[in-house]
Amino acid sequence: MQTDPVLVFRALGHRARLAIAEELAHGERCVADLVDLVGLSWPTVSRHLTVLRTAGIVRDAKRGNQVIYSLALPCVATFARCL
């Protein structure tokens, strides 16, 4: 599946979503970890993750009661470091 660059840049245009993507560059995280990282409410982080997933930046996997997120578009990590 081809990633739409416009969707990627729009998704990364929000500070919280960029922070989430940068954190996922270091490895998988559950939603609770990401909530602590960005300091936003659970529903807000979930909405940000939906935007990132729709853009093809992250993927999710259910493990027991947790949803684990990982970076699906690895070039985002180098792109963010470059800025």
pLDDT at residue 3 in the model: 78
Return all residues near 17 (Cβ < 8 A) that are at least 6 apart. 11, 48, 51, 52
Question: pTM of this prediction?
Answer: 0.89
Burial class (CB in 10 A: 0-12, 13-18, 19+), 31: middle
C-alpha to C-alpha distance for 73 and 69, rounded to whole angstroms: 12
pLDDT at residue 24 in the model: 94
Residue reference for tokens 């578009």:
73
Q: What's the average pLDDT block by block, 10 residues per block, for the chain (83 residues)?
A: 83 93 93 93 96 95 94 83 65
